[in-house]
Amino acid sequence: MKRVITYGTYDLLHYGHINLLQRARALGDYLIVALSTDEFNWNSKQKKCYFSYEKRKKMLEALRCVDLVIPENNWEQKTEDVQLYKVDTFVMGDDWKGKFDFLKDQCEVVYLPRTPEISTTQIKADLKS
């Protein structure tokens, strides 16, 4: 079984996220999503989530392409996660291109093109206008 992992906040889940998750899942047989906790988002990513971790987790778990959701508590856990979950492929959108190449000695590292026209920032801006 080929195991894939990806990381993110996934707040205001939108079709750009879904595109990424479906492509990530298609690279293997089992997709793990390491979901940024509220604390990690606030303390390390300066992101205030609209939906709590539990609500974001529930939405991701409802997706057919997602097999497991685990917490992302810090930037440093990726190496351990890849070992612990026996990950074959690490996937991120290409806005992160190159940032996680240090994992290449543990697993395949794949950066997928982002869905260009959609972002949570854009959604919030559109709702204000």
Residues that bind ligand C2G (CB under 6 A): 7-10, 16-17, 20, 36, 45, 72, 92-93, 95, 114-115, 118-119
Q: What are residue 30's DSSP bridge partners? A: 3
Q: Which residue is nearest to ligand C2G (CB)?
A: 93
CB closer to ligand C2G, 3 vs 114: 114
Half-sphere exposure of 83 (CA within 13 A, CB side): 5
CB of 29 to ligand C2G, least distance (A): 20
Strand 68-72: give its sheet, edge to edge. 68-72, 30-36, 3-8, 89-93, 108-112
Report the catalytic residues.
45, 47
